[in-house]
Amino acid sequence: MASEFTARRTFKSDRSSPLRYIVSHIRRHPQFAITMVFGAFANAALAAAVPYFVGRAFNNLQSGQPLETILPLAFAIFASQGLRAVLQLMRNGSSEIFAQRIERDVRDELYGSLLGKSMSFHDSVPVGETMARVTNDVRELNLMMNPGMNLLVGSGMFLLTPFIAALLEYPPLALTPGLFLLFYGIAQYYYVKNMSPIAQDVRASFGEMNADVAEALEGLQVVKGAAAEKREIAHFDGLADRVRDNFIRQGRVEARYLPMLLIGLAMAGGFTHAAFLQQQGLIASGAVVAFVGQLMLFGFPVFSSLSAFTQASLGYASTKRILAIINQETTLDQNTGGYEAPVKGAIRFENVSFQYQPESAVVTHNVSFDVEPGKTVAIVGQTGSGKTTLIKLLNRTYDVTEGRVLVDGIDVREWNLEKLRSSISIIEQDIFLFSRSIADNIRFGRPEATQEEVEAAARKAQAHEFILSFPEGYDTVVGQRGVTLSGGQRQRLALARAFATNPPILILDDSTSAIDSATEDKIQKAIWTAAQGRTTILITHRLSQIRWADHIVVLRKGRVVAQGKHEALMESSDAYRRIFARYESAAPVKNEMG
């Protein structure tokens, strides 16, 4: 299966169907599966021992035997139930470990799969929906194993015990347990058949509700800014109502659970049958007592399987949703056997056209230009002209629709993806910082960087001074996405992160737009220093940066309309002059480079 990244796995799960997937994970922990099944069998057998010994004691009392004959039977009951308690502890402990390990394995596998998906996949799937599958759906799989599977295995043993005991006591007594098993199986078949689509709807509606919550929280500033809280609450209420309605449908199916009626009929019919046989002198009175006690064991599977089969249906539905993510192939491949060599920095866009989806509009049209190693190229154009799209084609965030992008004369699709991406550092306008320490954010692309190297990178990015102003300095933990920092501080940390990796290709996508005027000169000098000796692509509206670029590419509506040096473009390109004039009139030009 194609992927940008393959999770480290010590096992191979069978992803051909939900059932095979579940079984493949069960087979990873055979010792716990065996102890769970053995514990369930022993539990049912020892539970059946109680009515057996009670029946024998009843016969002894009825025949006038002395009380001393009852004591061994009482001790047998005590010993059997003591052993049963020990085996139950083993069974339940094994079941819980079993379920937790499977949840861990599936969660790791799903998380690795998500990291390996292309951006085309993540663009089409809401984050909240993905989070629902990673968290709640995987948890449902855990619950399907324990208590779900644990109860189902135990129930199966309890269903067989009365039938086997009846055959051993007096074969005709097996009539009632046999009929019960037949109708119980039919009832469970229709119960699961009716419950399965409802379980799918329950999990799907929960995912939609979760996606809406995540989206609303992500855009909370927009919601508050538009005073749209009431409207969003009403929208969420509609989604919550769908979840509620699906659970009500589930409850209605559970309320019509037919085995509840069957156990009553089995008890009445079995007792009548046994009493008739006793009247005929075919069985003793104690056998009637023992047989009725055996029939009462049906109560456990009937009452427990109501929740167990529901949990199994929900877990199976969740497994289908998990596999729908894992099995979805990405359009990119990590190409582990691809080209690997130290990157020199030569870049060529050769007749590149691109569209995000087959049915969407073409974003870039037949774009061609070259970047020589160690040179700086500025890409300019109006908003929506395709500037940012081009750089995402360079590191294969997306693949071109037509044409080629080459690095050092090699098509990027032929490069080892990890080698290619580790050689390119991109600083975007929308800076993302992790909820970790400042030092960890700076060394994110190079985790082995020492503290001295982290501080050196921060100094180059003009971030060292403001970092030390925090009480915990480099150990300060920033909020999610860096919300505790100003825009300029976030961008300087992003610059420091790029400096720490020391990449041969550096891309700055309007990355200084939020820099305040007090530090603008210092940042410009830092960028100038960083650009020396490496290939640099600037997407910027800063006129100073455009001017000192070695080459300028002008885009308009996804097409290259002009390219060359600043002076030549000012003379020959109306599009470039208009762009330059607009930003020059909006802000005075400063010659930061001196």
**Lowest-confidence region among 116-120, 270-274, 320-324:** 116-120
Q: d(Cα 511, Cα 488) in Å, to the nearest integer?
A: 9
At residue 593, does pLDDT exceed 80? no
Q: What percent of the chain has pLDDT over 70?
A: 92
pLDDT at 59: 87
**Ranges 165-169, 526-530, 581-585, most confident:** 165-169
At residue 370, does pLDDT exceed 80? yes
Identify the residue with better confidence: 463 or 5: 463
Comparing CA positions, the residue from 406, 496, 505 lying closest to residue 460 is 496
- Residue 582 pLDDT class (50, 70, 90 cuts): low
**What's the average model confidence in pLDDT over 245-251?**
92
Tell me the pLDDT tens digit for each residue of 70-126: 889 999 999 999 999 999 999 999 899 989 999 999 988 888 888 878 777 777 788
Q: Is the pTM of this model over 0.85?
A: no
pLDDT at 590: 42
> 85: exposed, middle or buried (C-beta count within 10 Å: 0-12, 13-18, 19+)?
exposed
At residue 317, does pLDDT exceed 70? yes
At residue 68, does pLDDT exceed 70? yes
Q: Classify residue 145 as left (phi > 0), alpha (psi -120 to 50) or beta.
A: alpha
Identify the residue with better confidence: 277 or 2: 277
Q: Tell me: domain 342-423+505-512+535-594, CATH 3.40.50.920, correct?
A: no
Peptide bond into 147 cis (omega under 30): yes
pLDDT at 519: 58
- Fold equal for 342-423+505-512+535-594 and 429-502: yes
Sign for the CA dihedral angle at 146, 149, 155, 157 comes to negative
The domain limits of the chain are 18-326, 342-423+505-512+535-594, 429-502
| Residue 135 CB partners (closer than 8 Å, separation 6+) | none
Q: What are phi and psi of 512, to 5 degrees?
A: -115, 20
At residue 408, does pLDDT exceed 60? yes
User: How far apart, in Å, are the Cα atoms of 278 and each of 11, 138, 169, 170, 267?
Assistant: 59, 53, 13, 11, 16
Q: d(Cα 512, Cα 529) in Å, to the nearest integer?
A: 15
Q: d(Cα 166, Cα 309) in Å, to the nearest integer?
A: 27
pLDDT at 85: 93
Q: Tell me: domain 18-326, CATH 3.30.470.30, correct?
A: no
- Residue 133 pLDDT class (50, 70, 90 cuts): confident
pLDDT at 306: 84
| Residue 460 CB partners (closer than 8 Å, separation 6+) | 495, 496, 499, 526, 529, 530
Token pair recorded at residue 140: 């449902």
Identify the CATH assignment for 429-502 out of 3.40.50.1950, 3.40.50.720, 1.10.1660.10, 3.40.50.300.
3.40.50.300
- Residue 9 pLDDT class (50, 70, 90 cuts): low
pLDDT at 217: 78
At residue 588, does pLDDT exceed 60? no
Q: d(Cα 408, Cα 424) in Å, to the nearest integer?
A: 13
- Residue 402 pLDDT class (50, 70, 90 cuts): very high
pLDDT at 170: 92
